[in-house]
Amino acid sequence: MGLSMSITLTPLHPTIGVKIGGCDLSQPLSDKAFQALLDAYYRYSMVLIRGQQLTAEAQRLFRR
């Protein structure tokens, strides 16, 4: 069900955008980690996750 991750959220602006750290999208996400990313998207409307090295297959799996 995925590796344990310590996800951090750093708001980029008071009304929109958040930088997400502590997650490796090339690895399977736990349900809890995925929900944290989804909640951040709904709250901030835009997410920035830097430093990801995703294959086409990993991108396909993440978007599900």
Q: Is 56:42 a contact under the CB 8 Å cutoff?
A: no
pLDDT at 55 over 80: yes
Residue range(s) defining the domain that contains residue 55? 8-63
**Two structure tokens written together for 18:** 């958040």
Predicted confidence (pLDDT) per residue in 7-51, tens digit: 999 999 988 999 999 999 988 888 898 899 999 999 999 999 999
Q: What is the pTM of this model?
A: 0.77
Please give the pLDDT value at position 64.
Answer: 66
* Close Cβ partners of 33 (under 8 Å, ≥ 6 residues apart): 2, 5, 7, 23
Structural domains of the chain, count: 1
Please give the pLDDT value at position 29.
Answer: 85
Tell whether 1 is covered by a domain.
no
Tell whether 54 is covered by a domain.
yes
